[in-house]
Structure 1
Amino acid sequence: MRPGKQIRPARQARILASRPLLERTLAIIQWRDAAIADGWLVVPKVPGQDWEQACVLHREDFQALCVTRNEGTDTLTIWAPDGMQVPTPNPYDWEKVKDGVSTCLFCGATGIAPHLVGEGGRACKECLAKL
């Protein structure tokens, strides 16, 4: 852009609207890189594809799916050894990942006896009654 030239309002609105998506992508990348530095094994989600776009991380029977392919569809999901999802701590913290096996995905209560909800969700007794 030349000095003194203004960004058109429509373009500026698109740039500002994409900022949360870019911040989410960056947070996922930072989480993934911290997990790898902490000893998680990284495997490409699709053989032959760049692992930085889609990978599965493994550590002590925990799995994390990291997808940073397209803006808006980026995701980070973690499953515990019992097959149920655990909350994703941000920033990365291995102890919080392990503690997630007794954390409700709905209200954040800790120290719960988890109940399966849907396809791998984890809920406390109180949230289960509300679903």
Structure 2
Amino acid sequence: MSESSHILRNDPSSQIEDAASRIWGALQSNREGNGGELSVSDEAVARLLTAAIKLYYAKTDGEDRTFRPLMGERDEYVCATEVITAATELLRAMSLSPMELALWWRRRPDDAGFTSGPHAEPATRTDAPLPSEAQDSGSTS
């Protein structure tokens, strides 16, 4: 074993990259070989989903940006029903309601006008002035 391959195997980021590829390949093989039935324990699925959520949050929070958390384009690999099913159960697992999700809904850091964090862009106003602002600008005292 060379020193460089030993370093890569001990690097947590490389281990995560390798594990993600192996898990995706195993999932595809398992689904094709078993007619769509999965023989994976609930605990294993929960461990993977928990790790994926922690990883996504750490990456987006640390880099002050978001990225598409799913492979492919639109519903290439995951359909809307699968996303809603997972999202609903994630909310239930944390005793959260759709109302609380709406309260936490936020603009993505990479959207125009994001105004916090080290990579923030200055906000630009694109809406029309409020009626009180229009009156103030036109009044003479």
Q: Which has the higher contact order (CA 8 A, sep 6+)?
A: 1
Q: Comparing both structures, which one devotes a greater share of its residues to strand?
A: 1
Same fold (TM over 0.5): no
TM-score, normalised with respect to structure 2:
0.32
Question: Greater Rg, structure 1 or structure 2?
Answer: 2
Q: Comparing both structures, which one devotes a greater share of its residues to helix?
A: 2
TM-score, normalised with respect to structure 1:
0.34
